[in-house]
Structure 1
Amino acid sequence: MYRERPSALPHVIAWRSVVPPGTPPGRILPDGCLDVIWQDGTVYVAGPDTTAQVVPTAAGSRFFALRFADGVGPGILGVPADELTDRQVPLANLLPAAEVRALAEAPDPPAALEEFARRRWQAPDRAMVGVAAGARAGLPVPAIADSCGLSPRHLQRRTRTSFGYATKTLVRIMRLQRAVALARGGSPFADVAVTAGYADQAHLSRDVKALAGVPLGELVMR
């Protein structure tokens, strides 16, 4: 059972999950975010992924987490996002042990996570919020740079430290998210390709398989 809701903090989603018996390993798609996750009394950071991660979980495991979008996560953790790309890192490797222990042992993990983030909150970088919006809209990289008032070189450096990868990769990942949402909403795959910004349906199929590891039809069935 998975549920999510907007956090009290901007650009943050709070989510929770309990793994029912017989649940197959989950396939987590890249989304340009990083998460701080409490799992059965252990707290870790799931960095921004470049491809889907297949995550085995034990029946009954409980998860409470905050998902940081629009480049706000590195400010909370004090670590550039590209140091966490495609990694899961114990939070105790990044922050003082006493702070992490209090979070791990909290009687109300969701409230403790919210308080943790509020205590360490940094104002969002407006340029990076704009980069995320441009990527979600499917803008080409030069247009994103122009809209944010950044040179291409400066944009690449800032995107890597805020999102964990180059701007072109971020745009590609956001396009995947649009495509999957459209397909799960019932749109024919040919329409998905056009609406999401792919050259054609073959391009859609290749890109989804490369990023998600399975065909789009299989993702829609999940």
Structure 2
Amino acid sequence: MYAERASRLPGAVVWSRAPGGPAPDADAARGSERARSAVLPDGCMDLLWTEGRLLVAGPDTRSHVPEGPPRRWAGVRFHPGTAPAYLGVPAHELRDRRVELTDLWPAAEVRRLAARIDAAADPVLALEEVALLRAAQAPPPDPLLREVVAALDAGRPVAETADRLGLGARRLHRRSLAAFGYGPKTLARILRLQRALALARDDEPFAVAALRAGFADQAHLARDVRELTGMTLGELTGRR
């Protein structure tokens, strides 16, 4: 069963997943089993806990399907562009990867934090506390990055976004690689996909969802869904 809520860390989401149990709502029950378990590209990075381990999920350019037996998971999904400041690593170094937190932070510190979360009555809350403490100790993320995300998520062209923010195209690309893990065009494409999927899962006809999200037509949306997730709209939404 999957559940999520807004975090006390601004812009972040705290989530948990436990093996078995009923789906939390009708939307979660939709789609194929593969689609329900897949993690889709969303421009974010996550701090993860599972049974004695702490990991970081880098920014995805394709869907990720967890392997191995079902496990209990907790995660803090950071707002796009903020995790590198908190975790101390450029996003592009973790693109399409899941890495042990010991690869990024001192091993003794990570073992201590993992043991604390393992022993907590609520591991989800304990993981959130780790993220909050780290954010309080780290330099704040560049506020300009939130403007980049907001502009691209509103469907503004990359060149217009760079001009409005006083950045050249090359500077925007370099900063996007470090903050998001990929260039602004890829980020814009991923955010557009997420807008369309949200509309489609809210029962908008696929053609309408495509146009409202900024695609040329339904076929354009279908191609991007296939290229970015390896699945179809029907698989992801449980609709034809």
Q: State the Cα distance separating 1:118 from its structure 2 match.
A: 2.2
Aligned equivalent of 1:40, options 43, 48, 51: 51
Distance 2:115 2:63 in 1: 30
Q: Deviations over 1:161-218 (max 9, x none)?
A: 0000000000000011011111000000110111011111111111111111111111
Give the unaligned 5+ runs of structure 1.
Answer: none
- Offset from partner CA, 1:34-88 (integer Å, 9 cap, x none): 00100122111110000111223523x2111101113110011100000000001
Percent identity of paired positions between Structure 1 and Structure 2: 50
- How far does residue 151 in structure 1 lie from its aligned partner after superposition? 1.2
Quick one: distance in 2 between partners of 1:21 and 1:50? 30
Q: For the Cα contact (< 8 Å) 2:47–2:56, is it kept in 1?
A: yes
Matched residue SS, 1:98 = helix
User: Whole-Å Cα distance in 2 between the matches of residues 111 and 213 of structure 1?
Assistant: 33
Amino acid at match of 2:124: P
Cα distance in 2 for residues equivalent to 1:215 and 1:192:
15
What does residue 129 of structure 1 align with? 146
Q: How many residues align?
A: 221
Which residue is equivalent to 1:80?
Answer: 90
1:90 is matched with 100
CA distance in structure 2 between the aligned counterparts of 1:118 and 1:87, rounded to whole angstroms: 23
Of 163, 171, 176, 1:159 maps to 176
Structure 1 runs of 4+ aligned residues shifted over 4 Å read: 21-25
Output the TM-score relative to the length of structure 2.
0.87
* Mapped contact 1:11–1:72 kept (Cα < 8 A): no
Cα distance, 1:92–1:5 mapped onto 2, change above 3 Å: same
Say if 2:54 and 2:100, in contact at 8 Å, map to a contact too: yes
Q: Structure 2 CA distance, aligned partners of 1:155 and 1:47?
A: 20
1:15-41 deviation per Cα after TM superposition (whole angstroms, max 9, x unaligned): 111021799451110000000100122
Query: Counterparts of 1:118 and 1:98 in 2: how far apart (Å)?
Result: 19
| Residue of structure 1 in register with 2:134 after alignment | 120
Taking the aligned partners of 2:179 and 2:102, their CA distance within structure 1 comes to 21
Give the SS at the match of 2:96: coil
Deviation at 1:2, TM superposition (A): 0.7
Runs of 5+ in structure 2 lacking a partner? 23-31
Per the normalisation by structure 1, the TM-score is 0.94
Structure with greater strand percent: 1
Does the CA contact (< 8 Å) of 2:176 and 2:182 recur in 1? yes
Asked if 2 retains the 8 angstrom alpha-carbon contact of 1:19 and 1:58, the reply is: no
1:198 aligns with 2:198: no
Other structure's SS at 1:54 match: coil
Amino acid of the residue matched to residue 185 of structure 1?
A: D
Per the alignment, residue 220 of structure 1 pairs with 237
RMSD: 1.8
